[in-house]
Amino acid sequence: MSIEETTTSEIFDQLTAGFASSTAAASTPAEAAADDWRRTAVVYQVYPRSFADSNGDGVGDLPGITGRLDALAELGVDAVWLSPFYTSPQADAGYDVADYRDVDPIFGTLADFDALLAKAHSLGLKVIVDLVPNHSSDEHVWFRAALAAAPGSPERARYIFRDGRGENGELPPNNWESCFRGPAWTRTTNADGTPGQWYLHLFDTKQPDWDWENPEVRAEFLSVLKFWLDRGADGFRVDVAHSLIKAPGLPDLDPRVDDGPEVDTEGAFMTGPMWDQDRVHEVYQSWRALLDSYTPDRILVAEAWVQPLSRLANYVRPDEMHQAFNFDYLETGWGAAELRRTIDASMAANQLVGAPTTWVLSNHDVVRHVSRLWLGTDGPRPNGIRAGDTQPDYELGLRRAKASSLLMLGLPGSAYLYQGEELGLPDHTSLDDDLRQDPTWWRSQYTEAGRDGCRVPLPWEAGAPGLGFAPSEQTGLPQPDSSADLARDQQAGVDGSTLDMYQSALALRRAFKLGAGSLEWTAGRGADIIGYVNGEVTVVSNMGDQPVPLPSGEVLMASADLPADGTLPVDVTAWLVSADI
Ligand code: NOJ
């Protein structure tokens, strides 16, 4: 058995020499599929508010992102997904859009977007923008018009207004609750001061739901898609893609069978008359037809918390979206049997419809996997962690997070990274409650911390003001004390750093074409070991409580130092070539 470690850069150099020729134009349909970025890309999520601030106002912005794109190209990702930067009162961090065709002044201008896109494209990076079609802001011009118009008017028909129940309409039209807690209906006030109709908002009061039964709404969104496609955007991440169509008559939730819209922290999958209605697919078929008329290739990605996976696969049928986030994978903790099951089920469901599988561990809505995986597979995933809560074990969390990221990046399909995970950033778990911005915090009557902990500004340079996030000390949300040591400049070029691990993994993933590869489980290594082969690479993770023998072969890289005795330590993943399995 050889555990002699060839340096990543040596192997990378050898491989990239061959790689240049192997990327020549595809000549068969299978090769074409393998070269399709929409099946294999590693996509990096930028949350604009906290990525990089160019003007010192404490809020990240588009010029800030443009100025840091080189770092993402160096990291080795293929595409960048930008969370919303549209005109918005920021009641839900931009997921409350007041103008779908403009940039909010806090983020810059349309010219700044064009500059970002041009720079990204010059670096070979695709840019995916976030589209929020379930709801607008209550400050959208059409919602203002709806409030000013009479019940039954065409203006009101673009949203979901209904009379209340009860003798005087004093009760909400049905029993639905908001995903951010509290009722999903808000009552309006008529011009004469009397109470009026109610409107539906599956999220905050300031996020009224569009009525997708209305052809005018459908036409408007096709035009919005066209607006960004014509500007050169490479596609869309579609927010709450499973919620646009509601069941006819807006029936009450049946608490015996439905979880309802309330985000269940043990698994945020939701059932009920507001989710995953069959007719939602008409919408995506029309969007796909539009995207197919553009070159080069554009992408549609569904954010849909839908279960089972076979229902999720409906969103990626050949005439709909290209990808859907795999939240089953994100929800699976650190356990071999559970992960094997989820990976198998994900691949099987997607194969049935010919779609690529995606993988994701963190995003702007969940506790980062560094602060989550120390929990193993036990217990619910918390909706934010507060100072008084049990604090995560950072060392254990980081070790597992690195192992788990390396396991993920070896898988075929597309992978999504959330800004800062390449630095091993934890959630800010001692944030002052007074500073919280997530509406979940107050809508839950201050019982759920919500998502601010994973949204604090990135540390770029340890010695700079705001750790390089901004040209001033202003950072919007404060950064936790640990951020300075984790700053990008402290990790760049440092062997064994988290950044170094991600960079090497992405380079090897590209060189070995793992995204376009396949998966074959290795057998007989024990219940707590995950092992699989993807092309020339063998990936092994130890999720048990004892070191295990490493397969013989050449170690490409590992998520932690490997001992000289030929074993794979606990909570470590290794990649090997020429492995004897
Ligand atoms: C999902 C987004 O990821 C989340 O951040 C947002 O609050 C809701 N959709 C509502 O738009």
Token digits of residue 283: 């919408």
User: Ligand 1 in contact with 239 (CB < 6 A)?
Assistant: yes
- DSSP-based three-state secondary structure for 359: strand
Q: How far apart are CA 459 and CA 457, in angstroms?
A: 7
User: Ligand 1 in contact with 204 (CB < 6 A)?
Assistant: no
pLDDT at 10 over 60: no
Please confirm, yes or no, whether 170 is among the known catalytic residues. Answer: no
Q: Cα 117 to the chain's mean position, in Å?
A: 20
pLDDT for 21 equals: 34
- Lowest mean pLDDT segment, chosen from 67-71, 294-298, 356-360, 576-580: 576-580
Q: Which residue, 135, 231, 220, 225, is CA-closest to 179?
A: 135
**Across the strands, what pairs with 44?**
80, 417
- DSSP-based three-state secondary structure for 556: strand
Going by the DSSP 8-state scheme, the letter that residue 227 receives in this structure is: H
Beta strand ranges found along 88-131 (DSSP E): 99-103, 126-131
Positive or negative, the CA dihedral 207, 213, 215, 219 is: positive
Q: Calculate how far, in angstroms, residue 168's C-alpha sits from the geometric centre of ligand 1.
A: 34
- For 351-394, the pLDDT digits (tens) are 999 999 999 999 999 999 999 998 766 656 789 999 999 999 99
pLDDT for 581 equals: 76
pLDDT for 1 equals: 32
Going by the DSSP 8-state scheme, the letter that residue 369 receives in this structure is: G
Q: How far apart are CA 75 and CA 358, in angstroms?
A: 19
Tokens 């071999």 map to which residue? Answer: 336
**Across the strands, what pairs with 210?**
159
- For 139-196, the pLDDT digits (tens) are 999 999 999 999 999 999 999 999 999 999 999 999 999 999 999 999 999 999 999 9
pLDDT for 271 equals: 78
At residue 353, what is the residue type? V
Pocket test for ligand 1, best of 90, 204, 238, 239 (most atoms within 8 A of CB): 239
Please confirm, yes or no, whether 495 is among the known catalytic residues. Answer: no
User: Ligand 1 in contact with 95 (CB < 6 A)?
Assistant: yes
Q: How far apart are CA 27 and CA 439, in angstroms?
A: 51
Mean pLDDT of 478-486: 94
Q: Are the C-beta atoms of residues 330 and 418 closer than 8 Å to each other?
A: no
| CA angle (510, 344, 11) in 5-degree steps | 25
The model's pTM is 0.94
User: Ligand 1 in contact with 92 (CB < 6 A)?
Assistant: yes
- DSSP-based three-state secondary structure for 71: helix
Q: Are the C-beta atoms of residues 404 and 373 closer than 8 Å to each other?
A: yes
pLDDT for 32 equals: 75
Beta strand ranges found along 123-245 (DSSP E): 126-131, 161-162, 185-189, 195-200, 235-238
Active-site annotation holder among 130, 239, 438, 571: 239
pLDDT for 580 equals: 82
- For 275-289, the pLDDT digits (tens) are 999 999 999 999 999
Going by the DSSP 8-state scheme, the letter that residue 370 receives in this structure is: G
